[in-house]
Structure 1
Amino acid sequence: MTLKPHSAIAHAAYHDLLRSLREEAVGDLRGTPTRVERNGRGYWYDSFRVGAEVRKRYLGEDDPQMTARMQAAREAREPAEARRRARARLVRLLRAEGFLGLDPTTGSLMAALAGAGVFRLGGTVVGTHAFRLYEGELNLALSLEQTAQTDDIDIASFERLSLALEDAAAPPVQEVLRDFDFAPVPSLEPGRTWRWRQTQGQALVEFLTPAFGEEGLRDLPALGVQAQALRHLNWLIAEPIPAAIPYRSGVLVQIPRPERFAIHKLIVAERRQGQARLKAAKDRAQAEWLIEALARDRPDDLLDALEDAREQGPRWRERIAASLERMPETAAALAAL
């Protein structure tokens, strides 16, 4: 497989776009930044008054970078419109350099979900839409076979985080989806759904959450939706990273770490049964591309993820090994780490 890097200009433009989006995310403060500690972890909120009531809007988990971004936001004086136009120019540059974009419907939906706070409140893009965004993170162009657009948007979040945040999407996620002509898909539990299908097309939005025990439907209070609980997902979405979608003036989301995504694809490929075997081949192709890229540029990260996954238990080791039996070149690359 040939890995083709983007230009140095595209690499710099992507990270400028990502930096600007992250600064903008914490720069629109309505009140006072407040740090709250829960279970030994710190979280930042924008605390403001509405009448006699104090409300809090979740900003992100505490770390030195968050503190620095909030300080920079306080000192920023550049008008918001000028910042938006600067980001739009960066997006145009990325498109000219061959970066993947989104169709208008998907792009505007992702922007609306981001505006409602879905990703700020812990939502993580998974699946093929996340894979496409590693183009910017790894500064590598995707091949023609890998650029096929998928109609599915998969968003995962931790149930416990959703309960702990004491904040909610605004407008509600269900309202956003209805505005884009999505309707709930009936499930086995009457009155509850984790899938929304566009009434005039094939687009499908699915909400997922890690299963700690039995798989089934769980509530995500911060997003106001139900989610399908799945095994292995908690490992995938732990410690997600920010990513910029090159649509209009940019959309800030978060995605799994690429090394975890790659190893997770090896695992889920072996869980596919029946008609889903076509998806298993796609899983392995994405894992192969990521592993080759990471083995070259981030071998320590890849090795840490592989070892950590194998330590999760015998079923994890068996599924990883079964996938690698079908992928001798990838297995050799991992063995050489």
Structure 2
Amino acid sequence: MQRIPLNIQTLYADLQQQVAVASADEATVVATSIGGIRYLRLQRWVGASRTVEHLGRADDVAVMARAEAARTEMAHRQERRRLVSTLRRLIPGPTATLGRVLDAIAHAGLFRRGAVLIGTAAYQCYPPLLGAVLPSATVMTQDADLATADLALEGEIAGDSMTAILQRADASFAALPGLDPKAPPARFRNAESFVVDLLTPQRRRSDRDPMPLKALAAGATPLQHLDWLIEDPVPAVALHGAGVAVMLPRPARFAVHKLILAQKRGAHELAKSRKDLAQAAAMVAALRLNAPFELDDALDDARGRGRDGWARPIERSLAQIGDLTGR
């Protein structure tokens, strides 16, 4: 396994710090004249869409202050772009489509309000946190999963629908109908067949599927073990553009969840099961190298939650990936 050099890890830490304090005023200042009066506005790119905020007259003191702040923030953004470019020379970043999707979701504030990126899209963001480059064969994906526990079930979020958010990344995104045409959509797809799924922890067997997310005009598919996976998530930066702030499951929990999930797949999902095992194997190897106690703690915690649904699938997956030294 290829370790990420310490200087590159330091650059990533610098990027993460800069992204965390970035201002919403990062935008290009554009001037226009109407009736001989000069006005200013801010233009921002979100995903693949341009948004415009009108500030007011160019001779207004408050408007001039906002414009100057925007110019300063754009200089910081350019510096972050250079950092992302440097990091991507060693650490693979997300595809352009995934990067735009994450940018649109982050801009809408979903990660700040409890959404957690999971699945292979999250897996691609782990190398800087693990200090190791993960095998490229295990990061191929055509979808992004969002676990929306707090966001979905613990209060409304004022704002756009999920469809509108995703259409900022790609105008061709549309909701896919489920088995019940009256149920809110939990899956969205663009013209390139890139899919975004909304998921939520299953609280009881009687949970509605999908669970309604009224504020997003969407739904979320309830899944077992998801509440354990996304408990106490960690911040990370997706290496796209000037860096996109996301939230991820804790690395060790992600690895253990993959061990479980690989054994839960049906016979028709053999390819996904193999991908789960490949990702789990890579994550376990990286964690044993750089964070062995975190991995042991996650394994112990999961095994202690039950034999059939937790410990047994973990043991089977560890045996399959050849890691027979798990406690």
Classify the TM-score, shorter chain. Answer: 0.7 to 0.9
Per-residue deviation, 1:189: 2.3
Listed as ranges, the matches of 1:57-96 within 5 Å are 79-96=72-89
Distance 2:115 2:259 in 1: 23
Counterpart code for 1:182: F
**Are residues 103 and 291 of structure 1, via their aligned partners in 2, closer, same or farther at CA, if it must alter by over 3 Å?**
closer
Cα distance change of structure 1 residues 222 and 312 upon mapping to structure 2, 3 Å threshold: farther
* Corresponding residue number in structure 1 for 2:306: 313
| Residue equivalent to 2:98 | 106
Letter in 1 for 2:320: R
> Structure 2 counterpart of 1:145, which letter?
A
- Residues in 2 aligned to 1:193 and 1:126: alpha-carbon distance in whole angstroms: 19
Match of 1:325 in 2: 319
C-alpha displacement of 1:304: 1.0
The whole-number CA distance in structure 2 between the counterparts of 1:287 and 1:102 is 19
Structure 2: stretches of 5+ with no match in the other structure: 26-68
One-letter code of the match for 1:284? Answer: L
User: 1:258 deviation in Å?
Assistant: 0.6
Helix, strand or coil for the counterpart of 1:226? strand
Selected match of 2:160 from 171, 188, 194? 171
Q: Deviations over 1:3-45 (max 9, x none)?
A: 1112222111111111111122xx559xxxxxxxxxxxxxxxx
2:7 paired with 1:9: yes
Q: Highest Rg: 1 or 2?
A: 2
- 1:153·1:206 contact (CA, 8 Å) conserved in 2? yes
Q: 2: CA distance between counterparts of 1:139 and 1:222?
A: 38
Percent of residue pairs bearing the same amino acid type: 35
Q: How far 1:162 sits from its partner (Å)?
A: 3.7
Q: What amino acid is aligned across from residue 311 of structure 2 in structure 1?
A: R
Asked if structure 2 preserves the Cα contact closer than 8 Å seen for 1:163 and 1:222, the reply is: no
Q: Deviations over 1:144-179 (max 9, x none)?
A: 32343x111100111x554445533x3332212244
One-letter amino acid of the structure 2 residue matched with residue 22 of structure 1: A
The question of whether the paired residues in 2 share the 8 Å contact of 1:121 and 1:165 is answered with no
Between 251-260 and 212-221, the greater mean CA deviation after superposition: 212-221
Residue 175 of structure 2 aligns with which residue? Answer: 184
- Does the alignment pair 1:146 with 2:146? no
Tell me the secondary structure at the aligned position of residue 212 of structure 1: coil
The offset of 1:282, in angstroms, is 1.0
Q: Measure, in 1, the Cα distance between the counterparts of 2:142 and 2:12.
A: 24
Instruction: Say which of 16, 19, 22 aligns to 1:21.
Output: 19
Q: Deviations over 1:105-142 (max 9, x none)?
A: 22122111110112111111111111111111112112
Task: Supply the AA of the counterpart residue of 2:12.
Answer: Y
Number of residue pairs aligned between Structure 1 and Structure 2: 278
RMSD: 2.1
Structure 1, unaligned runs of 5 or more: 30-75
Instruction: Tell me the equivalent position of 1:44.
Output: none
Residue of structure 2 equivalent to 1:289 = 282
- After superposition, the Cα gap between the structure-2 partners of 1:204 and 1:28, relative to the gap in structure 1 and judged at 3 Å, is closer
Shift in CA distance, 99/325, structure 1 to aligned 2, threshold 3 Å: closer
Partner of 1:65: none
- TM-score scaled to structure 1, two decimals? 0.77
